[in-house]
Amino acid sequence: MALPSPFAPEPSYTHGQPARTAVLLCNLGTPDEPTTPAVRRYLAEFLSDHRVVEIPRLLWLLILHGIILRFRPAKSAAKYASIWTPEGSPLKVWTERQAKMLQGWLGQRNHHVKVAWAMRYGSTNIASQLTALKADGVTRVLIVPAYPQYSATTTASVFDAVYAWASKTRSIPELRFVNHYHDHSGYIAALAASVQRYWRANGRPDKLVMSFHGVPERTLHLGDIYHCECFKTARLLSEALGLSKDQFKVTFQSRLGRAKWLEPYTEPTLIDMGKAGVERVDVICPGFTSDCLETLEEINMEAREAFLHAGGKEFHYIPCLNDDPEWITALCQLTETHLSGWRTQEAPDTAAQEVSRAAALALGAKQ
């Protein structure tokens, strides 16, 4: 009797076929709908990831299931409802659009590449998308996280999901990973152009606040490079805009729990500015490549309210790069660099095909 294999059977799909290359754009994930049960499902998966919360497992699971998942889903669902669009969650809508545009851009540059998108948590997950790509004959995949700054909490977690899928797969495609692009010239230029465009239309602020998603401060001491990469992005953006040190400020948002996170925190900083007589602030979130709950609700609603309440006069939110053509061009340059050597721009290697076809025939003849 044959023992069952831990790997699912699969066709030897690469046999005699030319290599097919894909780019998988991976973002964080979002609930399927802005309801308490859907948000609870999403948060349960997200916050159970040991990359996201690095404290002893048992203690954390008790806190997560005993406290957080009881109260947070309803509050978060109301926030999601305030930013939801007819097409769904903004994070999903923008990520899908970026993938479509990148497909077109790469196609125009004669790359024979399939561009897909996936989410680390929730629907359209990384495993299901990799399985679909493989079923489509893809043999090489470039993984592109939507995060310009590397963090173990986000980037490494995307990679974990890819490795987990690969560990259950017999024929693993060739894999490449983009770790970060916090200092990529195209990304910085796209950010600078979006700020300049905004300022041409709306005038300039007293301060530009660059707000990045926070992480626990402990991760910095444990060696996470995220903090340094945020500051490098901010410095490069300020240089591109010709700002002096007193014209901008880097802050960190979205703190969760009681531990110390990276400082200065965005909202208290804005409150201090409002109290100190700063009349106009413009806020940009360079670490988010798509608008989402954290930018549209936490910054453009909550932080706005806090600043104005503290005495500020004008609050302007500068949107994320979303479907900005300069950003898609940067994404195209970035992927092109990482695709090099995979010969996506050439016709399939017919000589190699002939050899493998001949080998297949010879094998067939022997059986």
Measured CA to CA, the distance from residue 161 to residue 51 in angstroms comes to: 11
Site string for ligand L6N33NVT, 235-274 (x = CB under 6 A): -------------------x-x------------------
3-class DSSP assignment, residue 181:
coil
Among 254, 266, 269, 322, interactor with Fe ion by CB under 5 A: 254
Structure tokens at 128: 């299901």
Measured CA to CA, the distance from residue 292 to residue 184 in angstroms comes to: 22
Among 23, 26, 41, 89, interactor with ligand L6N33NVT by CB under 6 A: 89
Kindly list the distances between the CA atom of residue 24 and the CA atoms of 32, 81, 146, 221, in Å, as whole numbers in the listed order: 20, 28, 10, 31
Measured CA to CA, the distance from residue 11 to residue 14 in angstroms comes to: 8
Measured CA to CA, the distance from residue 309 to residue 303 in angstroms comes to: 10
298 binds Fe ion (CB under 5 A): yes
Among 94, 117, 159, 226, interactor with ligand L6N33NVT by CB under 6 A: 226
Structure tokens at 156: 């490494």
Using DSSP bridges, classify how beta strands 248-253 and 174-177 pair: parallel, antiparallel or unpaired. Answer: unpaired
Mark the segment that binds ligand L6N33NVT (CB under 6 A) among 17-25, 192-200, 243-251, 285-293.
285-293
Q: Which is nearer to Fe ion, 278 or 285 (CB)?
A: 285
Measured CA to CA, the distance from residue 177 to residue 334 in angstroms comes to: 11
Least Å distance, CB 230 to Fe ion, is: 14
Closest CA to 137 of 348, 288, 305: 348
DSSP secondary structure string for all residues of 183-209: T-HHHHHHHHHHHHHHHHHH---SEEE
69 binds ligand L6N33NVT (CB under 6 A): no
Least Å distance, CB 177 to Fe ion, is: 21
89 binds Fe ion (CB under 5 A): no
Show Cβ contacts of residue 244 under 8 Å, excluding neighbours closer than 6 positions: none
Is 213 labeled as ligand-binding? yes
Among 96, 267, 282, 294, interactor with ligand L6N33NVT by CB under 6 A: 294
Q: Which is nearer to Fe ion, 261 or 342 (CB)?
A: 261
CB atoms within 10 A of CB 4: 6
Among 130, 293, 299, 321, interactor with ligand L6N33NVT by CB under 6 A: 293
Least Å distance, CB 115 to ligand L6N33NVT, is: 20
Q: Which is nearer to Fe ion, 207 or 255 (CB)?
A: 255
Strand partners, 144: 25
Residue 208: name its binding partner from ligand L6N33NVT, Fe ion, none (Cβ under 5 to 8 Å by kind): none
Q: Which is nearer to ligand L6N33NVT, 88 or 311 (CB)?
A: 88
98 binds Fe ion (CB under 5 A): no
Is 227 labeled as ligand-binding? no
Measured CA to CA, the distance from residue 264 to residue 252 in angstroms comes to: 6
72 binds ligand L6N33NVT (CB under 6 A): yes
Q: State residue 292 phi and psi, 5-degree precision.
A: -160, -170
Which residue carries 């106009």 as its tokens?
280
- DSSP state letter for 245: G
Least Å distance, CB 81 to Fe ion, is: 15
What is the binding site for ligand L6N33NVT (CB under 6 A)? 28, 30, 43, 52-53, 72, 76, 89, 91, 147, 151, 153-154, 213, 215, 226, 254, 256, 287-288, 292-294
Binding residues for Fe(2+): 213, 294
